[in-house]
Amino acid sequence: MVQEEPEDLLELSDDTQSLLEQNDLRPLWEVEDDMGTLIGDLEPDIWKWEDIQAAIDGIESDVPIADLPPGFQRRVAVPINAKHAISNTIYIGVQTVSPGETAPSHRHAASALRFTIDGHEDMKTVVAGEEFPMRDNDLVTTPQWEWHDHINDGDETAAWLDVLDLPLFLDTLNNSHVFENHELERQPVTKTQGYWDSQYGRGRPAGEESDGSIPGPFEGNREPTPPYRFGWNEMEETLRQRADNDEPDPHDGYSLAYVNPATGEAPLFPTMSFRAQLLNDGPTDPHFHNATEVYFVIEGEGVTHVDGEALEWGQWDIFVVPPDAPHHHEPDDEAILLGMTDEPILRSMNFYAEAAIDK
């Protein structure tokens, strides 16, 4: 015999029920089961590079950037897991720009970055007046409300990851997205190469203090992220120095956080954090946390076990670990991953939770 739930035994009079319906009201015991189901649950999933490659090659062949509608002049293949993104808080896309093409200049409220998959010296992202070369595995920030465009002056197509926090406030927060196209296809280059890096190195402009303002029509209490390029050669060297001299984290191996250059501290953006993660010491220990994690395989092969499911990955694959899913990594030999997470959102509200799992 199936035992009824206590709330199933409750009955409202016709008059009360009518009042509720007429005024768009519902009693709590009917609402609570629907809470947390507006956006579907994430599932462990993986997108293999050979499939992504075939899709972006097809899109590149079929659709010139110039034919795309204004505001969407980006040729991108988007992995879908949640409603229209890889998660409810993080958007990932794989974008290409062909030789001679320009993805026109625009700016928006969302924080964003570009992680170069297959780049070259003549592929540049222009941010806030400076040209940033997009070499393999370089990470370039395109911060909130900064003009940015992508220009390919070389002879080969370039590809990179777009990472934005769009789903967070379009879907999760049910907010609007402020967006603006530049009057020119290419914004004017007003800074010499290396300018933004020079402003946030060990030497800082003397006598200048941040006024605490945030670019655009926005307010907040976090230091804004500046335009910046993290060159991969330096990041990899630091990562390998850690591996040669330090002990690995039992769950994440050797990790190196991308920090906000303005503060020297993680997270890179108030809504998302990023890390380069070297796995070379066998399987990691299983754990879980309530943050969403997305991974891009920079190099190597292996498998990540997520809630009983084995996600077998190789170079340039993308996979997602949902919140609260027990997981651990098992590289075949040595692997380097780019880890992306919405953990900063949860920490900002004192909601982040993590725990190890007994083997």
Residue 7 has pLDDT above 60, yes or no: no
Residue 180: its pLDDT value, please?
A: 92
Number of neighbours of residue 194 by Cβ within 10 angstroms: 12
Fold for the domain defined by 45-205+213-356? Jelly Rolls (2.60.120)
**Span of 108-112, 220-224, 345-349 with lowest mean pLDDT:** 220-224
Residue 318 to residue 333: CA distance in whole angstroms? 19
Residue 137: its pLDDT value, please?
A: 98
pLDDT band for 235, please (50, 70, 90 cuts): very high
**Span of 153-167, 201-215, 240-254 with lowest mean pLDDT:** 201-215
Range 218-236 average pLDDT: 92
**Could you identify the residue written with the tokens 């996979």?**
319
Distance (Å) of CA 230 to CA 7, 133, 134, 233, 268: 55, 11, 10, 9, 11
49-67, pLDDT tens digit by residue?
Answer: 999 999 999 988 898 888 8
Nearest alpha-carbon partner for 295 in 264, 263, 255, 261: 255
| CA dihedral sign of residues 242, 246, 251, 256 | negative
259-285, pLDDT tens digit by residue?
Answer: 999 999 999 999 999 999 999 989 999
- pTM of the entire structure? 0.91
Spell out the domain ranges in the chain: 45-205+213-356
Range 185-201 average pLDDT: 93
25 three-state secondary structure: coil
Mean of the per-residue pLDDT values of the chain: 90
Distance (Å) of CA 165 to CA 34, 62, 98, 345, 356: 25, 28, 26, 11, 28
Q: In terms of pLDDT, which residue wins out, 336 or 203?
A: 336
Number of neighbours of residue 199 by Cβ within 10 angstroms: 17
